[in-house]
Structure 1
């Protein structure tokens, strides 16, 4: 957060006679300022730059769960940034009204909010800080059970230049479960991204 103050001082050149200064015992200074908080505009976009409110993975087959190939890329776009003294953002993903995946409901994966007949069982969704949801140097998983801020470098972002924070989601067999435990059905996992610009 940055407080930005703009002071305007107008200097006028000219000649003032000595007699005009003789009676002056005080002076007044008026400062106009605007105080603003550093911020950016954030949008959730699919891989085609279309604004979305949910990441639709689509149909997932057992073979895709086994091979973890059902990945869906998306991104958070930060644009119109101003007043960011540290040139960074902190991004956190937390479950909204649901628990976490896994046998003991304490894994990194996000659980299914649907249950009962017609709901997919013993699966979870993972969200990664990369386009391809893989363990690679510098890539991290958002942890449902222990949410933590992920730092995003926004040094290249300006009021006219945006930055895309690449992410991806994939369906997985829930931690502590086996592929043979999975039951087919619908899956929905509400979660919220919280972004703090600094």
Structure 2
């Protein structure tokens, strides 16, 4: 399947919200088409403006194309960290770019994941499958890691005590326990990241879509 050639401003062109119903899309297009139609508007850019309006309407009035466009738009916002503030059609709107602070990047990622799952339930199943796969890998790692730690603890000595025989609550014992838990937790978080990445980034990559004929 070839990647669609979309532009990220169709809703702004028509001056409507991204959840506008079909009736609102049609009404907005009719009103703007009357205003910018070359037969009634003699301005130099009327023809180009009318063409942009028509392109946006043709896409948003088709349910399948609109669904594809909404997926594209979410991915575009996620990748660029851009949020549009529209006061009407594109020709009277202002676009506000938000600085990519870590907090805003986190919120953008979270928003993208939630909206994608809600709009496309198949991603939820894919994510569950990925999480189960990496959970099993993590369990295997945890068992191996525990075996290694127990083995090392029995042969590593500190002040004539093996790590296994150190009094509970001692500094060295606490440090060893923290390292043991932190390593397992870090790998668990990394596996969750891999599951999310494979589900929402790799499988939704435009390069992959472009290679599917």
TM-score bracket for this pair, using the shorter chain length: under 0.3
Of Structure 1 and Structure 2, which has the larger fraction of its residues in helix?
Answer: 2
Of Structure 1 and Structure 2, which has the larger fraction of its residues in strand?
Answer: 1
| TM-score of the aligned structures, taking structure 2 as reference length | 0.19
| TM-score of the aligned structures, taking structure 1 as reference length | 0.19
Larger RCO (alpha carbons 8 Å, 6+ apart): 1
